[in-house]
């Protein structure tokens, strides 16, 4: 009897330890499986690039040259020598600020217009053809008009962001609202929910996944548009930084800026996805 | 003496372009308080249209519906509906789905604690008090329908309207829910109109069975009294002569006199 409990007592901690080891191993294996392939792919791509651009007559710098050329910019993104001579952080920050303002305006206006044309079939018939035409206008084509209207670079850039991002938000929100099942509307009618109650308790939660699809497309497009718009309007901003580097033939700086633009765009997309996940909560589990 | 709920010459026409289609014609029915009525008929005969007119979700083109001598012209919680596919809101928990209706109906008359209590009481009535924090997608089809019934009952309707409430469920689950519904009916004495296409379900649950003719221009063909004593137990009824007779009557109506003509 005593011997039996003895063995149990000694067995217990080792058993727990035995469970812990495979768990840790599984976790590590999982982490490696997720991070290793992209790292290897990246290394291969950079390697090919290095091989292609290593020669003396290459028109573009190899990755090693990009790093040595721009080490100043990489190591110190926060310097500010006044004017447009600032660290990359400040350029990105200026671009993000424009996107934040333009995109926020687009989100508010897009959701409201989307609700309008989703809810009222008269408004849908009236506005949808106009929206379908306007949304095909390329973002930069709006720039001359907005420069003429605002007579100022910054509001023009913000307007371009707005007009680029607003269409997918409107159209996706409208689709979401039109997709609300008749059953949910009937539930609301039987309960006699008031307009605001219907909006917050049924329409909004039922439409959130569609809305965020629009917002996600919208933020991607705004980030595309801001770089192009800033090339034209000048001032501080990552688009202007690229244009300025081009004019000074600083290829390495352009490449570095492109990497930053890509990473920031990716993070913006993930940010919206993350917010969508938090807001739709239980619905996202289905 | 006026009936509690009465359908007077209810007719329904749809006009699409130049063609006028008559769905319902001269549907007249008087229902007493506490009665359980089933409406049975072949699919497409306009059963659901009748229910939606009583619910106020559709307006009839001729005639009208009177509930306690007041005309029904819009939907409302006094005629709560149990929908065929439960229509629970997927972003709300079981509790919140029921609570939404409770808050709307009793927001002014009951305190917060009373509304909480009332929500729980209705959920325990349908034996769903164990799953109040679950979301609709986490529970089975039968459980969803139970919650749908709780949501409707919690609005304390004058008439409970059920649109093929168990149509989408398997036979065993359906039997369980029918038993639960009879049990609830014994306790609360609700007035119920239920649409069904299941003959056994109609005979087992109803005080009267309203049989509808086939469309177009469907109307009430026959009303059958089911003089079975309550509480009813499905096992004992299987051989009960009254049960067998009622069942035979409904079957004869559906398959002899008003056979469904399949569109070839």
**CB of B182 closer than 8 Å to CB of B233:** no
Kindly report the nearest CA distance between residue B152 and chain A, in angstroms.
Answer: 9
Strand order in the sheet with B19-31: B19-31, B5-16, B62-67, B70-71
d(CA B123, CA B133): 12
State residue B1's pLDDT score: 53
d(CA A113, CA A104): 14
Across A131-148, average pLDDT:
92
Does the pLDDT at position A286 exceed 50? no
- N-terminal to C-terminal alpha carbon distance within chain A: 52
d(CA A186, CA A206): 14
Three-class secondary structure assignment of A169-203: HHHHHHHHHHCCCHHHHHHHHHHCCCHHHHHHHHH
B56 class by beta-carbon count within 10 Å (0-12 exposed, 13-18 middle, 19+ buried): buried
State residue A284's pLDDT score: 40
Dihedral pair phi/psi, residue B93, rounded to 5°: -70, 170
Beta strands of B42-109 (E only): which ranges? 62-67, 70-71, 81-82
Q: What is the pLDDT of residues B78-120, one digit of tens each?
A: 999 999 888 999 999 999 999 999 999 999 999 999 999 999 9
Kindly report the nearest CA distance between residue A190 and chain B, in angstroms.
Answer: 5
Kindly report the nearest CA distance between residue A206 and chain B, in angstroms.
Answer: 8
**Where does the pLDDT of residue B40 fall: very low under 50, low under 70, confident under 90, or very high at 90 and above?**
very high
Which residues, 6 or more positions from A48, have their beta carbon under 8 angstroms from its beta carbon?
A: none
Kindly report the nearest CA distance between residue A187 and chain B, in angstroms.
Answer: 8
Dihedral pair phi/psi, residue B195, rounded to 5°: -90, 135
Q: Provide the H-helix boundaries in chain A.
A: 2-53, 63-75, 88-119, 121-134, 142-150, 153-178, 182-191, 195-198, 204-233, 238-247, 251-280, 282-285
CA separation, residue B165 to residues B54, B65, B82, B197, B223 (Å): 16, 22, 6, 11, 21
Mutation to test the A interface, candidates B104, B151, B153, most A Cβ within 10 Å: B104
User: What share of residues in chain B are helix, strand, coil (percent, to 5)?
Assistant: 40, 25, 35
- Taking alpha carbons only, the member of B58, B62, B60 closest to residue B74 is B58
Using a CB–CB cutoff of 8 Å, tell me whether A281 touches chain B.
yes
Residue bearing the bigger pLDDT, A248 or A282: A248
CA dihedral A44, A47, A48, A54 (to 10 degrees): 180
C-beta atoms of A205 and B91 within 8 A: yes
**Where does the pLDDT of residue A6 fall: very low under 50, low under 70, confident under 90, or very high at 90 and above?**
very low
Which residues, 6 or more positions from B162, have their beta carbon under 8 angstroms from its beta carbon?
A: B81, B82, B149, B152, B192, B193, B194, B195
Give the residue carrying structure tokens 């509790």: B95
d(CA B98, CA B64): 30
Kindly report the nearest CA distance between residue A31 and chain B, in angstroms.
Answer: 30
- N-terminal to C-terminal alpha carbon distance within chain B: 48
C-beta atoms of A181 and B87 within 8 A: yes
State residue A5's pLDDT score: 45
- Cα A170 from chain centre: 18
Q: What is the pLDDT of residues A150-168, one digit of tens each?
A: 998 889 999 999 999 999 9
d(CA B76, CA B54): 10
Extents of the domains making up chain A: 86-285
Fold of the A86-285 domain? MetI-like fold (1.10.3720)
C-beta atoms of A190 and B55 within 8 A: yes
**Using the 8-state DSSP alphabet, how is residue A120 labeled?**
-
Give the residue carrying structure tokens 């292609």: A52
Mutation to test the B interface, candidates A190, A191, A208, A209, most B Cβ within 10 Å: A190
Query: Which one of B83, B90, B155 has the shortest CB-CB distance to A283?
Result: B90
Dihedral pair phi/psi, residue B204, rounded to 5°: -60, -40
Query: Which one of A190, A280, A285 has the shortest CB-CB distance to B75?
Result: A190
Kindly report the nearest CA distance between residue A284 and chain B, in angstroms.
Answer: 9
Q: What is the pLDDT of residues B128-186, one digit of tens each?
A: 999 999 999 999 999 999 999 999 999 999 999 999 999 888 889 899 999 999 999 88
Q: Which residues on chain B are in Cβ contact (under 8 Å) with A280?
A: 91
pTM over 0.80: no
Chain A, 11 to 50: residues with Cβ < 8 Å from chain B are none
For residue A180, the chain B residue with the least C-alpha distance is: B89
Give the residues across from A179 on adjacent strands: none
State residue A58's pLDDT score: 81
For residue B161, the chain A residue with the least C-alpha distance is: A190
The predicted complex's ipTM stands at 0.88
Residue bearing the bigger pLDDT, A268 or A12: A268
Query: Which one of A193, A205, A285 has the shortest CB-CB distance to B104?
Result: A193
C-beta atoms of A183 and B155 within 8 A: no
**CB of A227 closer than 8 Å to CB of A261:** yes
For residue A194, the chain B residue with the least C-alpha distance is: B104
The tokens describing A123, both together, are 């408004």
d(CA A176, CA A117): 11
State residue B247's pLDDT score: 94
Q: What is the pLDDT of residues A225-253, one digit of tens each?
A: 998 899 888 888 999 999 999 999 899 99
Percent of chain A with pLDDT over 90: 60
- Cα B213 from chain centre: 19
């Amino acid at each position: 009897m005593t011997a039996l409990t003895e063995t149990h007592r000694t067995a217990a901690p080792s058993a727990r330890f035995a469970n812990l080891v495979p768990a840790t191993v599984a976790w590590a294996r999982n982490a490696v499986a997720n991070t290793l392939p992209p790292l290897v792919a990246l290394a291969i791509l950079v390697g090919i690039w290095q091989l292609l651009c290593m020669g003396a007559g290459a028109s573009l710098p190899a990755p090693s040259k990009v790093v040595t050329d721009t080490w100043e910019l990489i190591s110190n993104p926060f310097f500010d020598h006044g004017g447009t001579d600032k660290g990359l952080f400040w350029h990105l920050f200026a671009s993000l600020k424009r996107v934040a303002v333009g995109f926020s305006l687009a989100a508010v206006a897009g959701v409201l217009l989307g609700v309008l044309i989703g809810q009222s079939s008269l408004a849908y018939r009236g506005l949808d053809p106009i929206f379908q035409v306007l949304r095909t206008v390329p973002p930069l084509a709006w720039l001359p008009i907005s420069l003429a209207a605002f007579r100022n670079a910054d509001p023009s850039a913000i307007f371009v962001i707005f007009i680029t991002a607003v269409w997918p938000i409107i159209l996706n929100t409208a689709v979401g609202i039109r997709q609300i099942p008749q059953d949910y509307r009937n539930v609301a009618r039987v309960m006699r929910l008031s307009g605001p109650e219907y909006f917050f308790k049924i329409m909004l939660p039922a439409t959130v996944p569609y809305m965020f699809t629009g917002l996600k497309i919208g933020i991607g497009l705004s980030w595309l548009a801001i770089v192009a718009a800033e090339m034209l309007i000048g001032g501080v901003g990552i688009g202007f930084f690229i244009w300025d580097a081009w004019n000074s033939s600083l290829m390495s700086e352009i490449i570095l800026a492109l990497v930053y633009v890509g990473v920031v765009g990716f993070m913006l997309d993930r940010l919206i996805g993350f917010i969508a996940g938090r807001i739709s909560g239980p619905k996202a589990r289905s | 003496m006026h009936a509690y709920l009465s359908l007077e010459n209810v007719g329904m026409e749809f006009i699409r372009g130049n063609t006028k289609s008559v769905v319902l014609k001269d549907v007249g029915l008087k229902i007493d308080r506490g009665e359980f009525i089933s409406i049975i008929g072949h699919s497409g005969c306009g059963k659901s249209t009748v229910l939606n007119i009583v619910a106020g979700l559709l307006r009839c083109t001729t005639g009208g519906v009177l509930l306690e001598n007041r005309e029904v012209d819009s939907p409302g919680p006094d005629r709560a509906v149990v929908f065929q596919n439960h229509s629970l809101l997927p972003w709300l928990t079981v509790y919140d789905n029921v609570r939404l209706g409770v808050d709307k109906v009793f927001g002014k008359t009951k305190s917060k604690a009373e509304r909480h209590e009332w929500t729980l009481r209705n959920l325990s009535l349908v034996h769903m008090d164990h799953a109040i924090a679950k979301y609709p997608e986490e529970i089975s089809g039968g459980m969803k329908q139970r919650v749908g019934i709780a949501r409707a009952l919690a609005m304390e309707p004058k008439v409970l309207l059920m649109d093929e409430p168990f149509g989408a469920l398997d036979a065993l689950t359906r039997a369980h829910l029918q038993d639960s519904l009879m049990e609830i009916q014994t306790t609360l004495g609700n007035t119920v109109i239920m649409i069904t296409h299941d003959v056994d379900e109609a005979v087992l649950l109803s005080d009267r069975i309203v049989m509808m003719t086939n469309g177009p221009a469907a109307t009430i063909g026959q009303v059958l009294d089911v003089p079975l004593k309550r509480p009813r137990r499905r096992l004992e009824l299987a051989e009960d002569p009254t049960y067998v007779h009622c069942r035979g009557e409904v079957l004869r109506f559906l398959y002899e006199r008003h056979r469904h003509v399949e569109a070839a």
